[in-house]
């Protein structure tokens, strides 16, 4: 068995079970690019500070290039007995270039190294997620543009409430996604500080330049406190929280679209490209992708809970428990990227069933609130008008008709305030036209909202 990089004080090697149990290489190889990037910056700084010769630095940099090439082409052998990504790369570098490699870990611990890698990784991951958010937002805008003027029932309590423009509803999701992206950007700005040089926990007496490595790696500044630098995981917690909130948004979108695809709603028809069938029922065409968007939100939330639970009882500074922080983060990112991608594809592959929606639209007295506003405009106090319209609806229910079907004398028997012009307020189409407040479903408001997103997302 090869002697461990930390093997000096040990007389016996670890058992196979312990080796298998404590390794992280099976998953933390995901960090190899960031690990190599960090080592490059560290070696360059060590040479500049006179802690390593320039020729040692050069052979380290060359060796790292070669290792990176091998990893990329799949020719690098990851070894479990070398524990994690950091020691795999360092040991491989030693195999490759010999003595100079032994200087690389000067004034560095795996504790600050792993966090440097992880912060860089999260930074990249956030950028990828934000690009996918924009892509989904654009798909929703395009879907909205395709469905200009389409009125759908708006729901509260899943009961028909008021008529709305479909575009208005789709933009609601775009707004939520925008805040999701904003949360990630906040998180990115807060996590972009460099732990490298914190070493094990206390820093070092060697003359390193933490500002130099921080700059070279694109961080805002070195972290001020070395103990904080190696023990903090709140940057991942914040990242996974932002992902979880986004996952909840996507899950609600998924739920809505699953409902809409049902025979009962019949609002949308997803194309075959985004549907799957049943192994027994030949007629079935299911909206599985959106069901799984809803389902996979559970994983993303679970990943956050795993990490919260992991951190809650740990004393400062580093504890090996923290090695368990990576898999939930990797899983959360992979899952959320998939959810965003598939939601965008779904949006690109659904058709709204205009006729069917329109046919079902008169049901549910969607214009009742607009009618109450009509009476308010005539000077009736809102509570009174609410009551008058409530009684009008009750009358409709007993007659089995809609508000617009009532004759003026029927309406006037309920309140003498009703006049001929009431019919401009009745019926779903008329009702929608009456909305005018900022942010409302009125067609001008919605088209200006939509215009905002078309410009912001650069859609033409």
List the catalytic residues. 157, 278
- Under the binding rule (CB under 6 A), the answer on residue 24 touching ligand ARG is yes
Find the shortest distance in angstroms from Cβ 13 to ligand ARG.
16
- Under the binding rule (CB under 6 A), the answer on residue 226 touching ligand ARG is no
Let me know: does 365 contact 389? Beta carbons within 8 Å: no
Nearer Cβ to ligand ARG (157/320): 320
Q: Which of 40, 42, 82, 110 binds ligand ARG (CB under 6 A)?
A: 110
Nearer Cβ to ligand ARG (84/367): 84
Binding-residue total with ligand ARG (CB under 6 A): 10
Q: Alpha helix (H) ranges present in 98-209?
A: 110-146, 166-191
82 burial via Cβ count (<10 Å: 0-12, 13-18, 19+): buried
- Of 411-440, which residues contact ligand ARG (CB under 6 A)? none
Give one DSSP letter per residue of 282-304, joined into a string: TT--B-HHHHHHHHHHHHHHHHH
Q: For the chain, give the longest Cα–Cα distance.
A: 101
- Under the binding rule (CB under 6 A), the answer on residue 213 touching ligand ARG is no
Let me know: does 92 contact 84? Beta carbons within 8 Å: no
Find the shortest distance in angstroms from Cβ 303 to ligand ARG.
16
- Under the binding rule (CB under 6 A), the answer on residue 9 touching ligand ARG is no
| 101, two tokens | 């490699």
Let me know: does 29 contact 84? Beta carbons within 8 Å: no
Nearer Cβ to ligand ARG (215/234): 234
- Under the binding rule (CB under 6 A), the answer on residue 176 touching ligand ARG is no
Find the shortest distance in angstroms from Cβ 129 to ligand ARG.
22
Find the shortest distance in angstroms from Cβ 320 to ligand ARG.
6
What is the rounded radius of gyration, in angstroms, for the C-alpha atoms of the chain? 31
- Under the binding rule (CB under 6 A), the answer on residue 116 touching ligand ARG is no
- Under the binding rule (CB under 6 A), the answer on residue 322 touching ligand ARG is yes
Q: Which of 9, 224, 320, 383 binds ligand ARG (CB under 6 A)?
A: 320
Find the shortest distance in angstroms from Cβ 112 to ligand ARG.
9
Find the shortest distance in angstroms from Cβ 9 to ligand ARG.
14
* CA–CA dist 187, 182 (Å, integer): 9
Query: What is residue 334's DSSP assignment?
Result: H
* CA–CA dist 324, 331 (Å, integer): 12
Residue 199, CA distances (Å) to 8, 98, 286, 309 in order: 19, 23, 54, 26
Find the shortest distance in angstroms from Cβ 304 to ligand ARG.
19
Q: Which residues pair with 286 in a beta bridge?
A: 276
Nearer Cβ to ligand ARG (200/417): 200
Nearer Cβ to ligand ARG (137/323): 323
User: Residue 431: left if φ>0, alpha if ψ -120 to 50, beta else—which one?
Assistant: alpha
- Under the binding rule (CB under 6 A), the answer on residue 84 touching ligand ARG is yes
* CA–CA dist 201, 433 (Å, integer): 65
Q: Which of 34, 44, 111, 385 binds ligand ARG (CB under 6 A)?
A: 111
Nearer Cβ to ligand ARG (29/433): 29
Q: Which of 176, 323, 335, 443 binds ligand ARG (CB under 6 A)?
A: 323
Nearer Cβ to ligand ARG (200/337): 200
* CA–CA dist 274, 205 (Å, integer): 60
Query: Is the four-CA dihedral 439, 441, 445, 446 of positive or negative sign?
Result: positive
Site residues for ligand ARG per CB under 6 A: 24, 28, 84, 110-111, 114, 318, 320, 322-323
């Amino acid at each position: 068995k090869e002697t461990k990089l930390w093997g000096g004080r040990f007389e016996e090697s670890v058992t196979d079970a312990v080796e298998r149990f404590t390794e992280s290489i099976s998953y933390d190889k995901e960090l190899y690019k960031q690990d190599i990037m960090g080592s490059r910056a560290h070696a360059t700084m060590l040479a500049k500070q006179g802690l390593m010769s320039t020729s040692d630095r050069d052979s380290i940099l060359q060796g790292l290039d070669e290792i990176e090439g091998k990893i990329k082409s799949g020719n690098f052998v990851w070894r479990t007995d070398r524990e994690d990504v950091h020691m795999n790369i360092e040991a491989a570098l030693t195999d490759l270039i010999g003595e100079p490699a032994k200087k690389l870990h000067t004034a560095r611990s795996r504790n600050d190294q792993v966090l440097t890698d992880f912060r860089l990784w999260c930074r990249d991951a956030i950028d990828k997620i934000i690009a996918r958010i924009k892509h989904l937002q654009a798909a929703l805008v395009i879907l909205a543009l395709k469905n200009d003027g389409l009125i759908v029932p708006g729901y509260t309590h899943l009961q028909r409430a008021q008529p709305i423009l479909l575009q208005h509803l789709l933009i609601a999701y775009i707004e939520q996604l925008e805040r999701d992206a904003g949360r990630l950007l906040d998180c990115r700005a807060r996590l972009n500080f460099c732990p490298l040089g914190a070493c094990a926990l206390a820093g070092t007496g060697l003359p390193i330049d933490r500002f130099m490595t921080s700059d070279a790696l694109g961080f805002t500044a070195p972290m001020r406190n070395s103990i904080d630098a190696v023990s903090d995981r709140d940057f991942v917690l914040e990242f996974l929280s932002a992902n979880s909130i986004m996952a909840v948004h996507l899950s609600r979108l998924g739920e809505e679209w699953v409902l809409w695809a049902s025979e009962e709603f019949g609002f949308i028809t997803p194309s075959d490209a985004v549907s799957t069938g049943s192994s027994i029922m030949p007629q079935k065409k299911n909206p599985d992708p959106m069901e799984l968007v809803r389902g996979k939100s559970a994983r993303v939330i679970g990943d956050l809970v795993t990490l919260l639970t992991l951190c809650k009882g740990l004393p400062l500074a580093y504890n090996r428990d923290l090695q368990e922080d990576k898999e939930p983060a990797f899983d959360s990112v992979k899952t959320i990227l998939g959810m965003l991608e598939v939601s965008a594809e779904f949006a690109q592959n659904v058709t709204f069933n205009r006729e069917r929606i329109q046919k079902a639209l008169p049901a549910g007295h969607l214009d009742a609130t607009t009618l109450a506003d009509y009476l308010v405009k005539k000077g009736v106090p809102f509570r009174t008008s609410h009551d008058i319209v409530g009684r009008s609806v009750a009358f409709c229910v007993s007659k089995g008709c809609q508000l617009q079907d009532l004759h003026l004398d029927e309406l006037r028997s309920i309140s003498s305030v009703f006049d001929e012009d009431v019919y401009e307020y009745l019926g779903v189409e008329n009702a929608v036209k009456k909305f005018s407040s900022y942010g409302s479903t009125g067609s001008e408001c919605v088209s200006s909202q939509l215009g905002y997103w078309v410009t912001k997302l650069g859609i033409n």
